[in-house]
C-alpha cells in the first residue's frame, strides 16, 4: 500500500542533501519483499506488458538480480504475500487498482505500456528462486508486519518499494528498490558492494524534528486522502520551498510533517490527532469520532508483531497458521504451505473471495477468465468442501469491475468428492491425477508421448480448444512457441525466441489478445489446481512456455503460411506434430465431463487445424 506522497518526498530529500544516507551494502542478511520485487523487476525491464508477457527474458533478469546479491555476500530472505488477509482497506486498494487498470485497456490496445503485469510473473519469479536455492516463504496474509519483524530479529534492512517500511522502527533501516543499484555492483579490493540509499526512522525524524512514535499517526493521516486535501498543509512549508502546482500529496505530507515538528506542546498520538482534526473544516463531533476510529484501526498495522518466520529460515520450521485460515497441526502440510507447494489461495479461505487477473483485451468480449471458471469451481470445492456455498469473484465486465457469486459444487463427479484439503498429501496419487484430468476433460492416454513438463500445458491447450474455439492460427502459434521453447531449453539456444522487438508500440488486436488471455487464464487456474492436488502432473517450466511478442508474430505469419514453412527443422516439426495430435485428437466425452461457459451455451465445436 505505502504512504501517499512519501516516496516523492524522500526523493526530494535525497536531491537536496546529496550525501544523505549514501550506503554501500554488502556482507549482510537482507529481508526482501518478494511480491514487490517480482513486480518491480518486470516493470523496470522494458518487457512486453500487453501481449501476455516475456517470461524467459524476465527469468534472466531475476537471475541477474540474485547473482548480484551473491557477489556481494548478501543472504536474502524472501517473503511473499499470501493474501490481503481480513483487511477491508487492503482489499479496497486492490479493487481500486483493478478499476484504474481497466480504464486503461483502450490505451493498451493502441500499444502503450500502461502497467498490465503478465499472469505468470509471480510464478516464474518463484520457480527461478527455487532453481537458485534462494530461501523463500509465502506468508498466509499481508506480509508487511512479518517482514518488519524478521528484519528486526535479524538486525538487517528490508528491501522493497513499499514506504510502509519507513514507518516501522527497523534497527537496520529500509532500502528502497528505486535507489538499490543492484545492476551496478562496485568492486572494493577483494569485496563487492551495491550502492544504495539507506532510510532510517531516526534520520527521518531528526530531519523533521518529530518523535518516532508519531510516524504511525502520520502514515494513517497521509492515507486519509479526502480529509488531507481539505486543509492547506502546504502553508507550513519553508518560505524558500517552491510548491508544486497543483499541490501534490508530497507537498501536503511535507507541510503536515513541518506542522507536527513545531507542535512541541503535543507529545502523544491522541493529542496530535485532536489538533489535526481541529484544522479540518466542518469536522463535527460525529465526524471526529469516525475519523478517530478509522485512524486508530489504520495505526494497528504498524505495531511490530512477534516474528513467526525466523525459524523457517534458520531451521526450516513451518510458521503457525491462524485458525481462521485453516486449523491444521500437521508440520508437513504447514511446511508445504509456507513453501507455496500447494498453491493455496488464502483469500479464498479468508474471505471466500477471488480477485481475478485482468489483461489487455477487447472490451466488447466477455472476460477471458470465464473460460476457466469450471476449473476454479473444482478448486473452490477442494478448498472449502463440497457441501455448497459460493465464492465472490471480481472480474471485468466491459471496462467495469463487477462482483459475481460463483457456486461451489463438484463439477467432477466421483474422485473429487473423496478428497479433503487436510489429507491431500496422503491421498492416492492415481485419484489426484484422475481429478486433474477429469477437470480438464483429458484422457491420460492422450498425453502419452508428450514430454513430462509439457503435459499440463498440452492438457490445458486441449481444454481451451474445446471451450473457447480459437481460430486455428492461434492454436498453431501457441504450439510453435511452446515447441521452440522446449527445443531451446534442451540446447540452451535462443533461435527466433524474442520475436520482433522493433515495434514495441504496435497496436494490439483485442480479439486475438482475448483468445490468448483465455489460454493463459486456463493455464493459471489449472496450474493452481495441479499444485493443490500435489502435482499429479509435473509442474511446467513456465519461462519457456510463452513469449507474447513471438506468439502474436507467429499468428500473423500463419495467416498465409504453415508452421512447416516458417520453421524448417525436422526436430521442431516432429515435436510440433506430436503436440498438435495430442491437442486435437477426437474425444467426444470431453464436453460431458467438464464444460466452460461457452460450451454450456451451445458454442460451436472447435475448428481443428489441418
pLDDT digits (tens, 9 = 90+) for 387-397: 668 999 999 99
Inter-residue contact 383 to 532 (CB < 8 Å): yes
- Host H or E run for residue 25: strand 22-25
How confident is the model at residue 52, as a pLDDT? 94
The rounded distance, in Å, linking the Cα atoms of 168 and 517 is 39
* More confident position, 547 or 425: 547
What percent of the chain stands above pLDDT 70?
86
C-alpha cell at 474: 492461434
* pLDDT-based confidence at residue 247 (cuts at 50, 70, 90): confident
CA 108 to chain centre: 19
Check whether 156 has a pLDDT greater than 70. yes
Q: What is the mean pLDDT of residues 308-322?
A: 82
The rounded distance, in Å, linking the Cα atoms of 362 and 359 is 10
Q: What is the mean pLDDT of residues 81-88?
A: 69
Strand partners, 137: 79
C-alpha cell at 608: 481443428
| 522, 528, 529, 532 alpha-carbon torsion, rounded to 10° | 180
How confident is the model at residue 345, as a pLDDT? 75
Inter-residue contact 480 to 554 (CB < 8 Å): yes
Inter-residue contact 281 to 231 (CB < 8 Å): yes
| pLDDT mean across residues, the chain | 86
pLDDT digits (tens, 9 = 90+) for 365-412: 999 999 999 999 988 888 887 666 899 999 999 999 999 999 876 555
* pLDDT-based confidence at residue 326 (cuts at 50, 70, 90): low
User: Strands 400-407 and 353-355: what pairing?
Assistant: unpaired
Check whether 590 has a pLDDT greater than 70. no
Work out the burial of residue 452: count CB atoms within 10 Å of its CB; fewer than 13 is exposed, 13-18 middle, 19 or more buried: exposed
Check whether 173 has a pLDDT greater than 60. yes
Check whether 578 has a pLDDT greater than 80. yes
* More confident position, 498 or 22: 22
Domains contained in the chain, CATH given = 6-208 (3.40.50.1010), 212-302 (no CATH), 429-600 (no CATH)
CA atoms in the 13 A half-sphere facing the CB of 86:
6
Residue of 108, 47, 128, 61 lying closest to 550 (CA atoms):
47
How confident is the model at residue 83, as a pLDDT? 67
The rounded distance, in Å, linking the Cα atoms of 65 and 357 is 26
How confident is the model at residue 224, as a pLDDT? 75
DSSP class per residue in 108-168: HHTT-------TTHHHHHHHHHHHTT--EEE-SS--HHHHHHHHHHHT--EEES-GGGGTS
Per-residue 3-state assignment (H helix, E strand, C coil) for 537-600: CCCCCHHHCCEHHHHHHHHHHCCCCCHHHHCCCHHHHHHHHHHHHHHHCCCCCHHHHCCCHHHH
How confident is the model at residue 421, as a pLDDT? 72
* Three-state DSSP class for residue 276: helix
The rounded distance, in Å, linking the Cα atoms of 34 and 126 is 9
115: left (phi over 0), alpha (psi -120 to 50) or beta: left
How confident is the model at residue 39, as a pLDDT? 95
Residue of 153, 147, 189 lying closest to 171 (CA atoms):
153
Inter-residue contact 166 to 198 (CB < 8 Å): no
The rounded distance, in Å, linking the Cα atoms of 249 and 3 is 10
Query: What values do phi and psi take at 290, rounded to 5?
Result: -65, -45
* Three-state DSSP class for residue 66: helix
* pLDDT-based confidence at residue 496 (cuts at 50, 70, 90): low
How confident is the model at residue 602, as a pLDDT? 34
How confident is the model at residue 86, as a pLDDT? 62
The rounded distance, in Å, linking the Cα atoms of 111 and 93 is 26
Check whether 299 has a pLDDT greater than 80. yes
Check whether 314 has a pLDDT greater than 70. yes
Window from 231-240, 550-559, 577-586 with minimum mean pLDDT? 231-240
* pLDDT-based confidence at residue 235 (cuts at 50, 70, 90): confident
C-alpha cell at 416: 473429487
Other CB atoms within a 10 A radius of the CB of residue 339 amount to 17
Q: What is the mean pLDDT of residues 597-605?
A: 38
Per-residue 3-state assignment (H helix, E strand, C coil) for 280-314: CCCCCHHHHHHHHHHHHHHHHHHCCCCCCCHHHHH
How confident is the model at residue 244, as a pLDDT? 58
Window from 84-93, 266-275, 363-372, 435-444 with minimum mean pLDDT? 84-93
How confident is the model at residue 437, as a pLDDT? 94
How confident is the model at residue 600, as a pLDDT? 35
pLDDT digits (tens, 9 = 90+) for 93-106: 889 899 999 999 99
Strand partners, 395: 402
* CB-based contacts of 87, cutoff 8 Å, min separation 6: 142, 301
In terms of residues, how long is the chain?
610
Other CB atoms within a 10 A radius of the CB of residue 124 amount to 23
The rounded distance, in Å, linking the Cα atoms of 550 and 312 is 40
* More confident position, 161 or 319: 161
How confident is the model at residue 374, as a pLDDT? 93
Query: What values do phi and psi take at 173, rounded to 5?
Result: 90, -170
How confident is the model at residue 290, as a pLDDT? 86
Window from 206-220, 507-521, 567-581 with minimum mean pLDDT? 206-220
How confident is the model at residue 409, as a pLDDT? 61
Inter-residue contact 404 to 393 (CB < 8 Å): yes
Query: What values do phi and psi take at 79, rounded to 5?
Result: -125, 130
Amino acid at each position: 500500500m505505502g504512504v501517499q506522497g512519501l516516496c516523492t518526498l524522500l526523493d526530494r530529500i535525497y536531491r537536496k542533501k546529496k550525501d544523505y544516507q549514501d550506503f554501500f551494502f554488502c556482507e549482510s542478511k537482507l529481508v526482501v519483499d518478494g511480491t514487490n520485487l517480482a513486480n518491480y523487476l518486470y516493470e523496470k525491464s522494458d518487457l512486453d506488458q500487453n501481449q501476455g508477457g516475456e517470461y524467459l527474458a524476465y527469468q534472466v533478469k531475476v537471475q541477474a538480480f540474485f547473482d548480484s546479491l551473491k557477489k556481494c555476500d548478501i543472504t536474502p530472505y524472501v517473503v511473499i504475500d499470501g493474501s490481503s488477509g481480513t483487511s477491508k482497506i487492503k482489499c479496497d486498494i486492490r479493487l481500486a487498482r483493478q478499476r484504474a487498470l481497466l480504464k486503461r485497456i483502450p490505451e493498451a490496445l493502441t500499444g502503450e505500456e500502461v502497467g498490465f503485469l503478465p499472469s505468470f510473473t509471480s510464478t516464474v519469479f518463484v520457480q527461478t528462486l527455487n532453481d537458485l536455492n534462494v530461501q523463500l516463504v509465502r506468508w498466509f496474509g499481508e506480509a508487511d508486519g512479518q517482514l518488519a519483524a524478521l528484519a528486526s530479529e535479524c538486525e538487517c534492512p528490508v528491501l522493497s518499494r513499499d514506504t510502509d517500511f519507513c514507518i516501522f522502527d527497523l534497527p537496520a533501516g529500509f532500502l528502497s528498490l528505486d535507489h538499490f543499484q543492484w545492476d551496478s555492483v562496485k568492486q572494493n579490493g577483494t569485496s563487492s558492494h551495491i550502492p544504495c540509499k539507506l532510510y532510517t526512522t531516526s534520520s527521518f525524524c531528526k530531519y523533521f524534528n518529530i518523535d518516532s512514535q508519531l510516524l504511525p499517526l502520520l502514515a494513517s493521516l497521509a492515507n486519509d486522502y479526502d480529509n488531507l486535501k481539505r486543509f492547506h498543509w502546504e502553508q507550513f512549508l519553508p518560505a524558500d520551498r517552491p510548491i508544486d502546482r497543483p499541490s501534490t500529496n508530497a507537498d501536503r505530507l511535507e507541510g503536515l510533517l513541518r506542522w507536527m515538528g513545531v507542535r512541541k506542546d503535543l507529545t502523544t498520538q491522541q493529542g496530535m490527532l485532536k489538533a489535526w482534526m481541529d484544522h479540518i473544516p466542518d469536522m463535527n463531533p460525529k465526524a471526529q469520532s469516525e475519523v478517530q476510529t478509522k485512524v486508530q484501526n489504520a495505526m494497528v498495522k504498524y505495531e511490530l508483531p512477534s516474528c513467526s518466520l525466523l525459524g523457517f529460515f534458520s531451521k526450516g520450521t513451518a510458521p503457525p497458521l491462524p485458525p481462521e485460515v485453516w486449523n491444521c497441526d500437521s508440520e508437513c502440510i504447514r511446511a508445504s504451505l509456507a513453501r507455496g507447494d500447494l498453491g493455496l489461495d488464502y483469500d479464498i479461505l479468508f474471505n471466500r473471495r477471488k480477485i481475478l487477473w485482468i489483461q489487455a483485451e477487447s472490451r466488447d468480449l466477455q472476460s477471458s477468465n470465464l473460460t476457466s471458471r469450471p476449473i476454479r469451481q473444482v478448486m473452490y470445492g477442494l478448498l472449502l468442501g463440497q457441501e455448497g456455498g459460493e465464492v465472490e469473484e471480481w472480474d471485468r465486465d466491459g471496462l467495469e469491475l463487477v462482483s459475481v457469486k460463483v457456486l461451489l459444487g463438484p463439477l467432477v463427479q466421483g474422485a473429487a468428492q473423496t478428497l479433503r484439503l487436510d489429507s491431500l498429501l496422503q491421498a492416492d496419487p492415481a485419484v489426484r491425477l484422475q481429478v486433474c484430468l477429469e477437470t480438464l476433460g483429458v484422457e491420460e492416454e492422450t498425453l502419452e508421448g508428450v514430454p513430462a513438463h509439457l503435459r499440463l500445458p498440452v492438457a490445458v491447450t486441449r481444454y481451451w480448444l474445446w471451450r473457447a474455439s480459437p481460430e486455428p492460427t492461434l492454436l498453431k502459434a501457441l504450439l510453435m512457441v511452446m515447441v521452440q521453447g522446449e527445443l531451446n531449453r534442451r540446447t540452451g539456444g535462443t533461435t527466433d525466441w524474442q520475436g520482433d522487438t522493433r515495434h514495441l508500440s504496435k497496436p494490439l488486436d483485442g480479439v486475438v489478445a482475448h483468445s490468448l488471455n483465455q489460454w493463459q487464464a486456463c493455464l493459471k487456474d489449472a496450474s493452481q489446481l495441479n499444485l493443490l492436488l500435489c502435482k499429479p502432473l509435473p509442474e511446467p517450466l513456465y519461462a519457456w512456455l510463452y513469449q507474447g511478442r513471438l506468439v502474436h508474430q507467429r499468428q500473423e505469419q500463419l495467416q498465409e503460411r504453415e508452421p512447416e514453412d516458417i520453421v524448417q527443422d525436422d526436430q521442431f516439426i516432429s515435436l510440433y506434430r506430436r503436440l498438435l495430435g495430442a491437442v486435437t485428437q477426437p474425444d467426444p466425452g470431453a464436453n460431458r465431463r467438464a464444460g466452460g461457459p461457452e460450451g454450456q451455451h451451445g458454442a460451436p465445436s472447435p475448428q481443428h487445424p489441418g
